[in-house]
Amino acid sequence: MQEQITFDDFMKVDIRVGKVLEAEEFPEARKPAFKMRIDFGDDIGIRKSSAQITGLYKLEELVGRRVVAVVNFPPRQIGPFMSEVLVLGFHDENGHVSLTAPDHDVPIGARLN
CA distances from 1 to 4, 5, 14, 74 (A): 9, 13, 25, 27
Would you state the pLDDT for residue 19? 98
Residue 36 CB neighbour total at 10 angstroms: 27
What gap in Å lies between CA 32 and CA 50, rounded to an integer? 10
* Radius of gyration (C-alpha) of the chain in whole angstroms: 14
Tens of pLDDT, residues 47-59:
999 999 999 999 9
What gap in Å lies between CA 54 and CA 24, rounded to an integer? 11
Q: Does residue 28 form part of some domain? A: yes
Nearest Cα to 24, choosing from 64, 67, 60?
60
Tens of pLDDT, residues 8-30:
999 999 999 999 999 999 999 99
Write down the pTM of the prediction: 0.94
Beta bridge partners of 69: 16, 87
What gap in Å lies between CA 5 and CA 61, rounded to an integer? 36
CATH number at residue 34: 2.40.50.140
Q: Cite the DSSP H helix spans in the chain.
A: 7-11, 41-44, 59-62
Q: Does residue 63 form part of some domain? A: yes
The percentage of residues in the chain with a pLDDT greater than 70, rounded to a whole number, is: 100
Would you state the pLDDT for residue 113? 83
Structural domains counted in the chain:
1
Domain carrying residue 21: 7-99
